Structures are given as C-alpha cells and as structure tokens.
Structure 1
Amino acid sequence: MTRFEDFSFKLLVVEELMYRSEALTPRFNWFDHLKAQGVDDPDDYSYQDENFAEILPECRDHFENLLIPRELLDSVTTILVDGGNEAFMHAAPSWDGEDDLFDVRSLSDLDLVPNLRKITAEPHWFPPGAEEVFAARGITLA
C-alpha cells in the first residue's frame, strides 16, 4: 500500500483523481455518508461547534485509509490547489479557507506522483523552498 506522509498532499492527489478526473472511485461525499449512517441533518452534524474548522475524524480515517493504485498515481500530471477543493470540503465541511489547515508541510510525497508537471496554486500552500524543489523536478508552479 502506498502511504502518504503529508495528509494535505494526499488530499490534493485525491482532488485530482476523485473529484476532477473521476478516475478514483467511488466518489466520497461526506453528506451522503452521514445520511447512510442515519444522520438526519448532515449540515447540523457537520457544523457543530466542536467540528468547526477541523478535519472530521471520520473523514480523516476515510482519506488516510483510501488506497490509490500505482497506475492512478502515475497518471497525475497536474494538481490544482484552491480553498474550494472538494476534497477539503468533504474532509472539513465547515472550514472557511482562511487558515493553514490544508497547507502542505512536506514535499516528501512528490515521489509518489512521478509524472506531476504542473501545480496551479499560490506558493503559500507549500513549505519554504518548495518553488526550488518543484523547479528541480520539472514541475511548474503557476
């Protein structure tokens, strides 16, 4: 099993494979998951004070345990980083995008996506020195 060291980086890969290209299935939807668990009001559950602006434990477990086949990892050539990424929304439904909750803190997972060539993002999503690391690997940060 391929293990990611940085949860946020994994969510970026999931965003590309599950929500953008739809190559990784089944598509995870937090609200549908809650309804299937018998939660009558997913919005109320998701936006409770103790859940505010945090990654919900059930979602973290789901995404951390999500297996991504090597051939899908090899297919990732672009990544989009935006506060509105669906993977972020399903991991932390009440997150407002105004803090560093999903900032990538380690670039060690770049080896898992060897064909990555373009990241569309502001540099602040990544640790200091990321732009040089990307350039050395032939990855454009736009």
Structure 2
Amino acid sequence: MAVFADFNFKLLVVEKLMYDEGTLVPAFSIDARMAARGIPDPTSHVFENDLAYTVLDESRAFFEELEIGEELLASVDTLLVDGGLQVYYECSPVWDGEDDLFDVRSLDDLALLPNLREVIGAEELRVPGALERLAARGISVS
C-alpha cells in the first residue's frame, strides 16, 4: 500500500476518492462516530473541549491508517484544492479556512498518482515552486 509523506496531500486524494467519487469506502463520518459515542452535536463538543481548529485525534488516526490501493490511486486524474472540502469537515468540524491547518507542505506524493492530469485551485498550494513542479509533470493547473 502507498505511504503518503504529507497528510494534507493525502486528504486531497481522500476527498476525490471517498467524498467525490465514492470509490473509497466506507466513507468516514465524524458526525456518525461521535453520535455512536453519545455526542449528538460535534460542533458544541469541539468548542467545549477546546478542539476547535485542530484535526480531531479520531479523524487523524482514521485517515493516517487508511490504506489506498494502487488501483484507486491510479484512477485519480484530478485533484481539487479548496477550503470547503468535505474531508476537512470530517477532520475539524468547525474549521473556517482562515489558517494553515490543511495546507499541503510537500508535493513528494505526486509520484503516487501516475495519472494525475489536473489540479484545480493549484494557486492555493503553499509549496514553493508548486506550479512549476506540476507543469514539469505535465499536470495542468486551473
């Protein structure tokens, strides 16, 4: 199985496969996980326990341990970089996009996506030389 160097890059891939295409199953739901623990309102829980603007431990553990096979990785042809991704809610239910919590810090994981052809919102990547690196791999940006 693939090992990702950058957790936040992996989240972009998870968004595509789990929440956009529905091919990586079962989909993780922090609401369902918390409800199963008797916590009906994740937002209140997060604020009451000073967990706002962090990746919840339960979410981080799930996504870090999540294995994505080579066949699924090879199916990824487009990634979206956007502050409103579902996977970000699943990690941090009250995150507002105003900090660097989910900034991709490395593009080393591009090698795991042999058929990636486009990155939408690539200008939001905070990796030095990101646009040039994508272009050098023949990946279009928009």
Paired residue secondary structure (1:79)? strand
1:9 is the counterpart of 2:9:
yes
Q: Residue 54 of structure 1 corresponds to which residue in structure 2?
A: 54
Letter in 1 for 2:2: T
CA contact (8 A) 1:31 1:43 kept: no
CA contact (8 A) 2:8 2:104 kept: yes
Tell me the TM-score normalized by structure 2: 0.94
Deviation for aligned residue 1:45:
1.3
Q: Residue 67 of structure 1 corresponds to which residue in structure 2?
A: 67
Distance 1:112 1:59 in 2: 22
Distance 2:118 2:69 in 1: 21
Deviation for aligned residue 1:49:
5.2
Q: Which runs of 5+ in 2 are unaligned?
A: none
Q: Report the aligned-residue RMSD.
A: 1.2
Q: Residue 43 of structure 2 corresponds to which residue in structure 1?
A: 43
Q: Residue 29 of structure 2 corresponds to which residue in structure 1?
A: 29
Tell me the TM-score normalized by structure 1: 0.94
Q: Which runs of 5+ in 1 are unaligned?
A: none
Cα deviations across residues 51-95 of structure 1 (Å, max 9, x unaligned)? 111111111001000111110000000011111100011111111
Distance 1:91 1:41 in 2: 15
Q: Aligned pair count?
A: 142
Q: Segments of 4+ in structure 1 off by > 6 A?
A: none
Deviation for aligned residue 1:122:
4.4
